[in-house]
Amino acid sequence: MPTTIQTEKTKCYHCGENCENDALKVGDKVFCCQGCKLVYEVLSENDMCTYYDLGAHPGESQKEKSGRSNRFDYLKDPDTARKLLDFQNDTESHVTFYIPLIHCASCIWLLENLYQIHPGITFSRVDFIKKKVQIKFQHQKISLQEVVSLLSTIGYEPKISLSNLDKKAKNNTVDKRTVKRLAVAGFCFGNMMLFSVPEYFSEVELIAENFRGLFNYLNVLLAIPVVTYAASDYYISAWNSVKQRRINMDVPIVLGIISLFVYSLWEIFAHGNAGYMDSLGGLLFFLLLGKIYQQKTFSALEFDRDYKSYFPIAVTKLVQNQEEVIPLTKLEVGDVILVRDEELIPADSLLLSDSAQIDYSFVTGEEVPVPKRKGELIYAGGRQKGDPILLTIQKSPSQGYLTDLWNNESFEKPKDKLLEPLSNKISGIFTWTVLSIAFAAFLFWAPTDFSFAIKALASVLIVACPCALAMSTPFTLGNTLRIFGRGKFYLKNASVVERLALVDTVVFDKTGTLTDPARAQISFFGEELSEETKAILKAMVSRSTHPLSNRINGWLGNIPSKKLDSIHEEKGLGIRATYLEQEIRLGSAAFCEIENPVHLHEGNVVYLSISGVELGYFHILSGLREKAPEVVGALEPVYDLHLLSGDHSHELNSLKQNLGKGIHYHFQQSPLEKLNYLKELNQEGKRTLMIGDGLNDAGALQESEVGIAVSDRVSHFSPASDAILDASSFDKIPSYLSFAKKSRNIIKASFALSFLYNVIGISLAVQGILSPVICAILMPLSSISVVVFTTLSTNALAWKMGLIHSKTEN
Amino acid sequence: MEVIFLLIGVSLVLAGSFLFLFFKAVKSGQFEDDYTPSVRILFDNHKKPNKNQPIKPKSNE
């Protein structure tokens, strides 16, 4: 029998996937499935085929979409709808959806031309980076449910989760108010510099004397918004920390601002001299610039996701054998729900159907489904694979086995408070030193010349104003954050860098973090497989989406497949095929009717039988992530390493072989035990770094001082954490950790640099011989040199360590 | 030299109006999405005229 291989040419016009035998045709265009064809038809009906001109195969495959029509019925519930809408008046409603499928220019075009498909939609606008679309529609003409159905029909189903229903959290982009403050400070600073030019050339008599007075008064006028508006955040922060009897970086800054302003006012109005208003403006301008630099976050990523972001918004409840779609919030204990293929189980519940295949990859990282029997308890967070199942709810969605984690106290305390930043420690010492020097100078001069003593006091306060000190931290950390971001390591905020630098204990999760589901170790035990059998197997597994099929498919490699007479997959059990009147089965022991199944402790077993005769079995073990041994090896000399796994301890030996004996291994850890383990380490005074991936690590990630979530799809899935690491950068963990340490050293070095400036300035100031010119030169010079020093040295370091390759990037 | 008084006034008014415009731009959200507009501008508008022209984005945040 000839083997038929589909030629490369028959690619789906919509999504670009290879079309199987049952390709659908419309005119000269080929589609891989009904879904893709439907999208094309909707678009061509509305004369919107420009979509396909903008990019080849712009669509996403529609194969695995479940086309249930009542899926969005929960949106008819006015309560739910109101919570989703941004705005509503008599005629118009505004709503913003998160659509993860947005990926190319065609998507933007199509989503922004929705008004051509339905006249009820008046406006839609895409934010590509955040993958969001804002839609305005006239709700008399089209309901919210219809809008969502329309998006779903054209292949852009919005992701609506429970967290959308909560009070909308403000996105963590750079604060708009800080930007405005920076603008004001910049405006005033620029103008003040212009008006101060004559002062810098006071000996030259550049312009007539009478302008001087005017310029000074204009400077006072311009300084008022700087002091009252642009600096207001610093007053609040300084006041808060003083109230708590601590001194943070903002205290000396506020002291500096006040002394600069008051002393300058006194100079200008009492003596007619120029003050230091321009320095004041410059100080605030650079400070705010550094603040924005530090605030720059990865706003497209979400760091605070909890279980609510993953759970569905609605469930199908059975009431007297009638399906009813209700919002999850209205689900009660004892309700009977129907969960279909690929749907998430929203609450801990008992299985009423005979069997189920639950994929816990969200929870544990292991994507091979677990079989469950009637009457077993199924934890929330699993995903059903296969036929619809009936469940009865045991616990409300917010109180399940997994979601209990979120009620743990670890989720209450803000982490930023755990560790005092380096700059705060230094600023405490700094402030007291400066204050005592200032008063010593005052007391020294007071008996001889009282007004000179005042001048010395003010000069010390002014010149010691910690401009450079205050700028070194934000600029160093901001730049470090940016360098990490380029290497696909995204930190929640700049303070994570400092915490990362102090870590001494690293805790790994095993499944999904150290192991990679895609790198399975497969071996076949039994009779040797002939080329013909392999070709048959290839045809069988390439039709299935089961993860074990995918792995066997990868193991078979790129070989041609046989054309089989029939292929039938029984979800969760196996694949049955007929070829030359022989029945070939691939699947579980029961499915293949194996009498004496092997009992292996680790991994998964897939049997192969032909006409009821066992040929052998595949043994599939999850493999270690590429470079995982190297990462562990590099970390071992420096850090105390621990490994937590939810699995049984049977893999201990092979892990020890690959990762070495220097790690503390702990198996069969429940999510709560993981959290408690981290808590114990913390209580021992360790500074912990947790690296995990699934929702079951969420507690541990939260409890640790720094929690890094490893994810293959950064924007799709990651539990709440301090940092998200793209799985492709996993091997760079050791360099990232040492870079964080070194950036802390850079902060220290720049502190030393600014101390040097201060020593020079203060030694002049205590003698009362500080002239405005020296002051005007010293202050901007110290600030700018510190900014340049930190930026250049972090970049140079990153370049040396191979974290960035070219400086023109980004 | 008296003209300098006038020039100072003019320069302050000018700079102030720039500040005002910047405030307006921040408020209208121009700096929130700095990628999508670069794609959007390349779309050709060769579609049939539609009675439902898209409404201009308004700032209603």
Residue with structure tokens 């720049």?
A750
One-character DSSP codes across A475-543? HHHHHHHHHHHHTTEEESSTHHHHHHHT--EEEEEIIIIIEEEEEEEEEEEESPPPHHHHHHHHHHHTT
**Residue-level pLDDT at A8:** 45
CA A371 – CA A384 distance, rounded (Å): 10
Reported as type and span, the H/E element at residue A692 is: strand A688-692
Q: Are A181 and A270 within one domain? A: yes
Question: In total, how many domains does chain A have?
Answer: 4
Q: Are A57 and A78 within one domain? A: no
Residues A58/A51, Cβ–Cβ less than 8 Å: yes
Distance from CA of B54 to the nearest CA of A (A): 5
**Residue-level pLDDT at B14:** 92
CA A658 – CA A643 distance, rounded (Å): 13
Going by pLDDT thresholds of 50, 70 and 90, the confidence category of residue A809 is very low
Q: Are A186 and A255 within one domain? A: yes
Print the SS3 string covering A700-764: HHHHCCEEEEEECCCCCCCCCCCEEEEHHHHHHHHHHHHHHHHHHHHHHHHHHHHHHHHHHHHHH
Q: Are A99 and A52 within one domain? A: no
Q: Is the pLDDT of residue A184 over 90?
A: yes
CA A524 – CA A553 distance, rounded (Å): 13
**Residue-level pLDDT at A409:** 64
**Residue-level pLDDT at B1:** 66
User: Which domain does A350 fall in, by range?
Assistant: 307-328+343-395
Q: Are A209 and A291 within one domain? A: yes
Q: What is the share, in percent, of chain A residues with pLDDT greater than 90?
A: 4
Amino acid (one-letter) located at A437: I
**Residue-level pLDDT at B59:** 44
**Residue-level pLDDT at A165:** 62
What is the chain A residue with the closest CA to B11? A191
Establish if A548 belongs to a structural domain: no
Indicate yes or no: CB of A112 within 8 angstroms of CB of B52.
Answer: no
Q: Are A119 and A200 within one domain? A: no
Establish if A644 belongs to a structural domain: no
What average pLDDT does range A94-109 have in this prediction? 82
**Other residues' Cβ atoms within 10 Å of the Cβ of residue B5:** 11
Q: Tokens representing A534?
A: 């392999």
**Residue-level pLDDT at A204:** 54
Q: Are A280 and A429 within one domain? A: yes
Establish if A170 belongs to a structural domain: no
**B chain contacts of residue A124, beta-carbon cutoff 8 Å:** 54
Going by pLDDT thresholds of 50, 70 and 90, the confidence category of residue A810 is very low
Q: What is the pLDDT of residues A42-83, one digit of tens each?
A: 778 777 777 777 777 777 776 655 556 667 777 877 777 887
Establish if A614 belongs to a structural domain: no
Q: Is the pLDDT of residue A484 over 80?
A: yes
Residues A626/A517, Cβ–Cβ less than 8 Å: no
Q: Tokens representing A618?
A: 């595949």
Cβ-count burial A448-459 (b if 16+ within 10 Å, e if not): eeeeebbbbbbb
What average pLDDT does range A282-288 have in this prediction? 84
Give the end of a domain, one of A113, A134, A160.
A160
**Residue-level pLDDT at A166:** 60
Q: Is the pLDDT of residue A653 over 90?
A: no
Q: Is the pLDDT of residue A220 over 80?
A: yes
- Asked if B20 has any chain A CB less than 8 Å from its own CB, the reply is no
Cβ-count burial A250-268 (b if 16+ within 10 Å, e if not): bbbbbbbbebbbebbeebb
Establish if A607 belongs to a structural domain: no
Establish if A459 belongs to a structural domain: yes
CA A794 – CA A782 distance, rounded (Å): 18
CA A592 – CA A576 distance, rounded (Å): 9
What average pLDDT does range A229-250 have in this prediction? 86
Helices and strands (H and E) in chain B: how many: 2, 0
Give the end of a domain, one of A46, A65, A84.
A65
What average pLDDT does range B19-37 have in this prediction? 85
Q: Are A89 and A58 within one domain? A: no
Q: Is the pLDDT of residue A418 over 70?
A: no
Q: Are A261 and A185 within one domain? A: yes
3-class SS at A609?
Answer: strand
Q: What is the pLDDT of residues A542-585, one digit of tens each?
A: 777 777 887 888 788 778 877 888 888 877 778 888 888 888 88
CATH code of the domain covering residue A377: 2.70.150.10
- Asked if B6 has any chain A CB less than 8 Å from its own CB, the reply is no
Going by pLDDT thresholds of 50, 70 and 90, the confidence category of residue A699 is confident
Q: Are A190 and A270 within one domain? A: yes
Residues A525/A616, Cβ–Cβ less than 8 Å: yes
DSSP structure class, residue B53: P
- In terms of phi and psi (left: phi > 0; alpha: psi -120 to 50; beta: otherwise), the region of A320 is left
**Residue-level pLDDT at A406:** 65
Helix axes A277-295, A467-486, angle to 10 degrees: 20
Q: Is the pLDDT of residue A224 over 90?
A: yes
Indicate yes or no: CB of A122 within 8 angstroms of CB of B54.
Answer: yes
Q: Which of A87, A113, A208 sits opposite B1 (nearest CB)?
A: A208
CA A456 – CA A632 distance, rounded (Å): 57
Among the ranges A320-334, A667-681, B42-56, which has the highest mean pLDDT value? A667-681
What average pLDDT does range A742-748 have in this prediction? 88
Establish if A338 belongs to a structural domain: no
Going by pLDDT thresholds of 50, 70 and 90, the confidence category of residue B13 is very high
Q: Is the pLDDT of residue A4 over 50?
A: no
CA A431 – CA A412 distance, rounded (Å): 33
**B chain contacts of residue A54, beta-carbon cutoff 8 Å:** 43
What average pLDDT does range A396-424 have in this prediction? 66
CA A541 – CA A574 distance, rounded (Å): 10
Give the end of a domain, one of A65, A85, A114.
A65
- Asked if B58 has any chain A CB less than 8 Å from its own CB, the reply is no
Indicate yes or no: CB of A112 within 8 angstroms of CB of B40.
Answer: yes
Q: Are A293 and A314 within one domain? A: no
Using CA atoms in the order A382, A385, A386, A392, what is the torsion angle rounded to 10 degrees? 0
Which residues contact residue A37 at a Cβ distance below 8 angstroms, ignoring those fewer than 6 apart?
A14, A24, A26, A31
CA A566 – CA A574 distance, rounded (Å): 14
Beta strands in A48-108 (DSSP E): 85-88, 92-98
Establish if A496 belongs to a structural domain: no
- Asked if B61 has any chain A CB less than 8 Å from its own CB, the reply is no
3-class SS at A111?
Answer: helix
Q: Is the pLDDT of residue A702 over 60?
A: yes
Q: Is the pLDDT of residue A187 over 50?
A: yes
Q: What is the pLDDT of residues A290-345, one digit of tens each?
A: 888 777 666 656 666 666 666 777 788 888 878 887 877 778 888 888 887 777 88
Q: Which of B4, B26, B57 sits opposite A125 (nearest CB)?
A: B57
Residues A563/A1, Cβ–Cβ less than 8 Å: yes
CA A281 – CA A768 distance, rounded (Å): 24
What's the alpha-carbon Rg for chain B, to the nearest Å? 20
- Asked if A143 has any chain B CB less than 8 Å from its own CB, the reply is no
**Residue-level pLDDT at A408:** 66
Query: What is the torsional sign of CA A750, A753, A759, A765?
Result: negative
CA A438 – CA A259 distance, rounded (Å): 12
Q: Is the pLDDT of residue A135 over 60?
A: yes
Least confident of A237-251, A318-332, A403-417, A507-521: A403-417
**Residue-level pLDDT at A7:** 44
Q: Are A432 and A380 within one domain? A: no
The phi, psi pair for A387, rounded to 5°, reads -65, 155
CA A275 – CA A263 distance, rounded (Å): 7
Q: What's this model's pTM, rounded to 2 decimal places? A: 0.72
Across-strand partners of A601?
none
**Other residues' Cβ atoms within 10 Å of the Cβ of residue A375:** 9
Going by pLDDT thresholds of 50, 70 and 90, the confidence category of residue A709 is confident
- In terms of phi and psi (left: phi > 0; alpha: psi -120 to 50; beta: otherwise), the region of A156 is beta
Q: What is the pLDDT of residues A730-740, one digit of tens each?
A: 888 899 999 99
**Residue-level pLDDT at A1:** 41
**Residue-level pLDDT at B61:** 37
Interface test with A, best of B6, B10, B11, B12 (most A CBs within 10 A): B12
What average pLDDT does range A80-96 have in this prediction? 84
**Residue-level pLDDT at B28:** 84
Helices (H), A370-487: 422-445, 450-463, 467-486
CATH code of the domain covering residue A147: 3.30.70.100
What average pLDDT does range A235-249 have in this prediction? 85
